[in-house]
Each structure stands twice: as structure tokens, then as C-alpha cells.
Structure 1
Amino acid sequence: MTVEVFLTAEQETAGLFRPHALITLRAIVHREALRFLGQRGRLIAALVRPLVWLFVFAAGFRAALGLSITPPYRTYLTYEIYIVPGLIGMILLFSGMQSSLSLVYDREMGSMRLLLTAPLPRWWLLACRLLAGSLIAVLQAYVFLAIAALYGIRFPWLGYVAAAPAMALAAMMLGALGLLLSSFIRQLENFAGVMNFVIFPMFFLSSALYPLWSMAEASPRLRDLCALNPFTHAVELIRFALYAKSNTTALAITLAAFIVFGLVAVWGYDPARGTTARKT
């Protein structure tokens, strides 16, 4: 029995190097791109929230909130500049949840079950879907950065390049979280409700809007909660990358969260143990 399981796992791994595995990846990415292009209001909806925060909220708090010189910044800065990485994180977070919402819809329609019957490892199929959603999220983030540049908020050119892998990892981590949630939630209506209990606490209990030292002055416990939030470290990873600097702590925690969320999501989509085994 052990030999048979080993051979099966070995055959599945070897299957990833066959052409049909890459064809599957291309097909899933192509499908998600067509879906994104077909939903013309999706990009606008994804940008409205961060742009309102940037143009209205940040402008109103510019005089009230002062920010000291902390890494990666070398000088004092306006509040608009500080919250841009957090707003990028907002885009990636909402995009990851939106992609996972479509997973629940596909499962209700039956297309998700059809995808999981493909002769490829389940983790590969889910990774393809996760990668497709992350690419779209990063594209939305760069559109936001372009608008911010027109508004006068610019970063070093090298930072725009270095931010790409940081945003990709953050998008993969947040997408894996959404994938995890979708693996245990059966109905579309329930998932839409759970999204609010995940998105808003994760966003507000982070360094997206305020630095951790500022929160520590108000409440050390609140600061500790923000430090435990993986979204905080995803934002800090992007913040440092925009200045072409590294943050090993943020990188390690974001990567670890991605691995944990991804493994639990794959377990949840196992027909023998996850919600896909239940009758809908």
C-alpha cells in the first residue's frame, strides 16, 4: 500500500513536467483574464476604494497626522505617501477575496468540481487558479500606482521594479487565505458575509493606515495584534520594496503565512475531508 501511494505521488509530480500541465496553467490564466476583461466595472470598483482613501481621507488627515523618520523613509513625509503601500495591500486583499468568491460561484455551478477532476495534482490546479488571480491583482496595483504618480506621489524607478515580486507574494498570500475560506464555505451568500469579518479587521488592524509605533502609544495590546497580523507584514514588504529595500522579517512572515494558508486550502479541497465531499 505504501509503495502504491509513493508511486502515485511520484507519477503526479512527474505529470507537472508534461505539456498538459503547462497547458492547464495557460488555460486557467487565459480564462481568468477573459473573465476580468469581460467585467469592465471590476477594475473601476477595485480602484474606487483606495482612490477615495488617497484623495479624501489622506488629504483630510494630512495636517492632523505627523509621521517621523522611520525606515524605509529617510525624511519626513506626507500622509498620502505613507498610506500608498497600505492601499496597494487593500487592492490585493479585495482582489484575493473577489477571486475566491468566484471560486465559490464556480463550485455551485459545477465548473470547479469539473476542474478538480483533471488528471493533475489538486494542489497544482489550485495553484494555477491562485496564480491567475494574483497576476490580475498585481496588474490592478500597478494601475493604482500609475494614478498615484499622476497625483504627484512617485517612488524610485527601481522601486517600481522591486515591488513586483513583493506584491506578487502578498497577492499569493492573500489569495491563499481566500482560497482557504472558500474551501470550507459551501454557499455563496455565506462567503460574502464572511468576507466582511475577514477583510475589515485584517485591514484596520495593520500598519496600512498608521505606523505600529503610533498604535503602541495608544495601546500596546493593539500594537501587538497588528504585529501578529500577516497583512501588516505584507504591507511592510511592499513598503520597503517600493524604495528598493528589503525587509527580511516581513518577507519571512508573508512567505510562511502563504505556505500555511495554501496547505490548509489544499487540505480543505480534498474530496475525502473538505467541503467538496459534502453534498450540495
Structure 2
Amino acid sequence: MRHLLIALRAIVAREALRFIHQRERFLAALVRPLVWLIVFAAGFRAALGLSIIPPYATYITYETYIVPGLCGMILLFNGMQSSLSLVYDRETGSMRLLLTAPLPRGWLLFCKLLGSTLIGTLQVYTFLAITWAYGIEMTPWGYLAVFPALVVSGLMLGALGLALSSFIKQLENFAGVMNFVIFPMFFLSTALYPLWKMAESSSLLRDICAANPFTHAVELIRFALYLQWNGWALLWTVLAGAVFMALALWGYDPARGLVRRKG
């Protein structure tokens, strides 16, 4: 147990140092959601009328609705960017050295995943502070209650990035794969519009959005911000995270993944 905790502290500290030395990464993580909040929301406000839907007890502005979705966007991009660093580490050899340590491979990958998730959570809280200053206020206790929802969602999205990184051989290919994953997951979800709004245009798209793991991560964050429980969203987020983590472990298995490709 002592060795496991030492590995956890070392890997999380390494992720934190990497983040500190990459200030542009922190700014980029905030610019994307702020552009959506300030620029796009102004144009969509008139086109997308929102009715009273859970967890909201009254009519809300469009800016208020998309804040949880933008929090999910931060976690999604952070998970993919952290996985991009994994591909880079693998090409330089440091990732291979890490995975040959005399510790369970799953624990080492989880430590990497946890460090990335905590960084993403910090970025989300910074964004929430900016939205509060912008005039979009949530339930006061919701800012505390949303923490476990952010961690669970971040772990799920980070595990997806881990799974992708385990099957990508070259750094140059990762950006293209990210685009095929990030944008469909984000736009085919409840981050920008509720399911009933999607159902007005296409029942098929509505069903796709309902099956999207990112949708459940966003709804988990949304309900937590208003101190409400969404067990269905939690269940599907945890199940999706478990599946993605299993794929990552399979991909990084020496018999199939990293060692065989590099060896």
C-alpha cells in the first residue's frame, strides 16, 4: 500500500508540474467555454426557448442552461489533451518506463487519470467563478455538491482518452481522432440544448443524444449544481467509465498494446 501511495503522489505531482509549466493550456481551457457563453449564447438565446425542465424550478436564460455543458466541455478537452501527452510520452519512452514499474498497470493508469481529472476540476471551478462574476449564479451549496460529479465525469472522459491513446501509434494521428470523438460527443448531447428540443427535429438524433455518455456526464453536473440527485446519469457515467478503462487496460496490455507495438 505504501508503494501504491508513493506512485500516486509522484504521478499526480508530475501532472500538476506539467500543468503549471503550460500556462497556455489553462488559458485555452477557459477561452473555449467563454466564447460559447459570451458570443454564441447571445445568438442562440432568441432561437432556443427553454421551458421549465428538471432540475430548474423556473424559466432560465440560455446562458444559465449551457453552463453545465460548458463545464463538461472543459473536462472533455482536458481528458483528450492529457491523453495526447500520453502518446507523446510513449514516443519519447517515458511512458514505457512508467508502465514497466513493479506496480499494477491498472493502478499506474488510474494515477495518471486521477491527476488529469483533478486538473480539469480546477479548470471547471475557475470557469464557474468567472460565470458567477458574469452574473450567472447557481445554488450556493451547489458549488460544493458538484465536486464529486465533476470527479466522476472527469474520470469517465479521461478514461475515454486513455482508451484512445492506447490504440493510436503516432502523435500525428491523435489530433484527427480527437476531432472525430470530441465534436460528435459535444454536439450530440444535452450540453447546448435539451433532449426535447432535439426530438422536435429528429427522434433518431434524440435517441443518439440520450445514449451519449457525455450527455449523462453533463446531466450529472447539472443536477448536482442544483443539489438534486440524478441516479440514472450517475449509473451510466460510471458504467461508461468502467468500459473505457477496461479498453485502456486491454490496449496497454504488453501482449497486445504498447510493448508489442514498440518492441
Which of 200, 207, 213 is the aligned partner of 1:217? 200
| Dislocated runs of 4+, deviation >3 Å | none
How does 1:1-280 map onto structure 2 within 5 Å? 17=1, 19-279=2-262
| SS of equivalent residue, structure 1 residue 62 | helix
Q: Is the 8 A contact 1:185 1:275 kept in 2?
A: no
Q: Is the 8 A contact 1:32 1:133 kept in 2?
A: yes
Q: Is the 8 A contact 2:75 2:157 kept in 1?
A: yes
| SS of equivalent residue, structure 1 residue 63 | helix
Q: In 2, distance between residues paired with 1:35 and 1:257? A: 28
Q: In 1, distance between residues paired with 2:153 and 2:31? A: 20
Q: Which amino acid aligns with 1:66?
A: G
Q: In 1, distance between residues paired with 2:82 and 2:64? A: 28
Question: How many Å apart are 1:182 and its aligned residue?
Answer: 0.3
| SS of equivalent residue, structure 1 residue 245 | coil
Q: Which amino acid aligns with 1:183?
A: S
Q: In 2, distance between residues paired with 1:57 and 1:163? A: 25
After superposing the two structures, state which structure 1 stretch, 223-232 or 62-71, moved more: 62-71
Q: Is the 8 A contact 2:96 2:258 kept in 1?
A: no
Q: Provide the identity percentage.
A: 72
1:158-214, Cα deviation, whole Å (9 max, x unpaired): 111110000110000000000000001010001111000000000000000000000
Q: TM-score, normalised by structure 2?
A: 0.99
Q: In 1, distance between residues paired with 2:121 and 2:103? A: 27
Q: In 2, distance between residues paired with 1:205 and 1:197? A: 12
Q: In 2, distance between residues paired with 1:277 and 1:36? A: 30
| SS of equivalent residue, structure 1 residue 278 | helix
Larger Rg belongs to:
1
Q: In 2, distance between residues paired with 1:276 and 1:156? A: 49
Structure 2: where are the runs of 5+ without partners?
none
Question: How many Å apart are 1:230 and its aligned residue?
Answer: 0.3
Q: In 2, distance between residues paired with 1:276 and 1:162? A: 41
1:101-128, Cα deviation, whole Å (9 max, x unpaired): 0000000000000000111000000000
Q: In 1, distance between residues paired with 2:45 and 2:154? A: 28
Q: Is the 8 A contact 1:97 1:175 kept in 2?
A: yes
Q: In 2, distance between residues paired with 1:127 and 1:42? A: 22
| SS of equivalent residue, structure 1 residue 218 | coil
Q: Which amino acid aligns with 1:170?
A: S
Structure 1: where are the runs of 5+ without partners?
1-16
Q: Which amino acid aligns with 2:126?
A: V
Question: How many Å apart are 1:72 and its aligned residue?
Answer: 0.2
Q: TM-score, normalised by structure 1?
A: 0.93
Number of residue pairs the alignment of both structures matches: 263
RMSD of aligned Cα (Å): 0.8
Cross-structure match for 1:10 = none
